[in-house]
Structure 1
Amino acid sequence: MNCPACNGTVVSFDVPEDLREHLPKPVPHAGLCIRCLRLHPTESGGDPDFGELEPFPTSPEASIPLAIAIGRLDSLALNRSSIEALFERAEAAGVDPLLTLDRLATAGSVQPAIDIGKRRHQLEQLMDRETEPETEAETGTDTETETETEAGAGSEPTGEVGTGSEPGTGPE
């Protein structure tokens, strides 16, 4: 099958039932264009052969969720939860999705319909936000005060006026 958008080769695959919810329409077969990286429904599937797309993983356990995720990058805001779930699935199969995006961005044979580098950066920011430490509002504690208290434990208080031991600090 050729891509209706760019006439590139579409690699078809069977979509496992538990991944169909991440497609625009839950279909049993889909395909990823190896030139523009658009996702398409297809008439037939099978095990994917992404051999022409060098940076892509070869195992179906990693390549299928990654292919669906990449095909959904056209709208990060609308597809964020699906993309994250699919990336987690690819990671569980031993593939680093962000590294794969880096490699796809520099692959000469790929002419993606989206700016992969920009999307990768946006994804990384979203993922970093989710892994940041809890804030004061979430924990109910003032971490800044705790840090200051810990840093000052066992030392003399600073900034007190009127000790008289230093010039200009005593009573006049």
Structure 2
Amino acid sequence: MNCPHCDTETVVFAVPPDLRDHAPDGASAASVCPHCLTVAPASDADPADDPAFERVHESFPAGDGGVAFALLLGTLPSIALNKTAARACRERAEREGVDTALAFDRLVEAVHAADVVPEFDLERRVRRSTRCWTGRPDRRRTTTRMPGVGVRPGYGRMDRDTLGTLLVLSSAAAFGTLGVLGEVAFREGLSVPSALALRFAVGTAVVWAGLAVVRRLGDGAGPALGLPPRETLTAVALGAVGYAGVSYGFFVGVQRMTAGLAAVLLYTYPLFVVALAARVLDERVGVRTVAAACLSLSGWRSSRGPAAPPSTRSARPRPSPRRRCTPCTSSSRARRSSRPTSGC
């Protein structure tokens, strides 16, 4: 049985009788997706037929709220993006007596113990999705150390946020050098395809080296390098068609204008995203979005500089009149033989 959202094979587990009131549609069995953590009813499936059922079932104790927490959450990414849904789930958990802090720890530890998802991905996804659900992590809690992550639930949140901020700033600085280095490459005689090939080759080597270092420091546990087939095709299409086309157009722009102006024009793309989202996806455009769009347009307008004053046609200088040559006489020919005369 595959997840309807990401087409990943799900793990089916039995819902304990005392927790079936919390399950979707009162199902006696439910499925959890190891990739996106979507929980769905699975009444037509037999958990005993799932090879991972025994491990997952033993890891979800009925009395500690782990299953109740997972069933109440439903889809973690949706709740992370919807504060109203998160508030509703938190209120429901309080009414039904679910200890959200303890349930969060038990959910993380249970899925780690079942070994159905890489620890790094699970820790990042669950903590980000439940931040608005449980509030700030309780730093006084002590839980079992999770292998491969180096972070305990409730600890190191500021360090992870700081690291993320530094990585984003480093990425922004690297993108800032793209236009300048491209202009230098073109001055040295590289063509656009050659510059693109060099850029992506170096980038691929750096990314793979970084992943290898992360996995080595994490004792073999790190970001998953594989994707489901559908997501793999989507990623290949976006990279080979979408991003390659954008990079080609940007480098052609750098050839024809300054690197700074090309970068400013490139980052007006959020305006097109807002317009297409409102037109195609019927998304609501709020006041903040309009204000941000106006700021983006003002930045682009200021990058063009002030308008040049109208040019005034200077008076064309009148040519000086030529000297009229007087008829040469014998005496003048004699003088010209000794010294040249002008005007003839």
Identify the TM-score tier after normalising by the shorter chain. 0.3 to 0.5
Q: Rg bigger for which structure?
A: 2
Q: TM (normalized to structure 2)?
A: 0.27
Structure number with higher strand proportion: 1
TM-score by length of 1: 0.47
Q: Which has the higher contact order (CA 8 A, sep 6+)?
A: 1
Higher-helix-fraction structure:
2
